[in-house]
Amino acid sequence: MGNDSGLLLVLSGPSGVGKGTVCKALRQYMPELVYSVSATTRKPREGEVDGVNYFFKSKEEFQHMIQNDELLEWAEYVGNYYGTPRKFVEETLASGRDVVLEIEVQGALQVKEKFPQGTFLFLAPPDLSELHNRIVGRGTETEESIRNRMEMAKVEIELMEKYDYVVVNDVVESACERIKSIVTAEHLKKDRQIHKYRKMIKEV
Ligand code: ADP
Ligand code: 5GP
């Protein structure tokens, strides 16, 4: 990838922290970003549209995508497979636009292995009791699943170490504001700027 390619922004964090909520708000707040559409074997929820929310696939189709190396990363999460189609991400980055992946932690770490130049954002809860309240408040989980997710969250928070930035999701708008600041700063990094000036100097 050249200096003019877009940023790969990986937004991840524990279940219930608000990844989906922040990403939805970010679509309004930063419409200039391109949001990757994942493939999944989970069934569509009411109102979800194939190709918009996800590419809904059978297990066989998903396996086929893995075998053909069509996925940048993939993970099994609560009994379903989720993965990021590689071609779209690569083409969009090459066209100079920034791409957002909203993915769970295992997938984010795979992207980090394959694409270390990405920008890794860990969405963190203000504290663990608030994380618990959010998982309960969403009303989608059984008691056992809530306990599992809280245990998993402790392990995932330790993995914060591998990320570039921690974005606290206290208030959704504040989290979006923080992400916007990060994107601005990443674009201003010397390595992304210097080649333009070198080119100018050569041309005078
Ligand atoms: P994730 O995608 O990380 O699993 P969700 O986006 O589904 O998390 O959010 C989990 C729950 O927390 C939802 O009920 C959502 O409305 C709520 N939530 C998300 N962000 C906030 C916030 N900043 N303040 C209060 N509640 C939030
Ligand atoms: P949901 O089923 O609620 O839409 O998503 C469940 C989890 O899968 C969320 O944590 C979401 O971030 C994650 N996810 C969505 N798409 C992908 C993907 O392409 N790869 C990975 N690894 N996780 C994903």
> Which atom number of ligand 2 is nearest to the Cα of residue 36?
19
> Which atom number of ligand 1 is nearest to the Cα of residue 138?
14
The Cα 11–Cα 166 span in angstroms is: 10
CA distances (Å), 190 to each of 112, 185, 198, in order? 21, 10, 12
- Which mutation among 36, 42, 87, 104 tests ligand 2's pocket best, with the greatest number of atoms within 8 A of CB? 104
> Which atom number of ligand 2 is nearest to the Cα of residue 80?
2
Distance between first and last Cα of the chain:
27
The Cα 121–Cα 166 span in angstroms is: 6
Question: Which pLDDT band, with edges at 50, 70 and 90, does 78 fall under?
Answer: confident
Question: Which pLDDT band, with edges at 50, 70 and 90, does 16 fall under?
Answer: very high
Report which DSSP code applies to 54.
B
Q: Is the pTM of this model over 0.85?
A: yes
Is the beta carbon of 138 within 6 A of some atom in ligand 2? Answer: no
Phi-psi region for residue 89, left (φ > 0), alpha (ψ -120 to 50) or beta? alpha
pLDDT digits (tens, 9 = 90+) for 86-133: 999 999 999 999 999 999 999 999 999 999 999 999 999 999 999 999
For residues 33 and 26, is the Cβ–Cβ distance under 8 A?
yes
Is the beta carbon of 19 within 6 A of some atom in ligand 2? Answer: yes
Query: Please, what is the average pLDDT of the chain?
Result: 95
- Which mutation among 24, 78, 134 tests ligand 1's pocket best, with the greatest number of atoms within 8 A of CB? 134
pLDDT digits (tens, 9 = 90+) for 161-197: 999 999 999 999 999 999 999 999 999 999 999 999 9
Domains of the chain as residue ranges with CATH: 8-36+98-203 (3.40.50.300)
**Torsion, CA 174, CA 177, CA 181, CA 184, rounded to 10:** 170
CA neighbor of 61 nearest in space, from 50, 48, 52, 53: 50
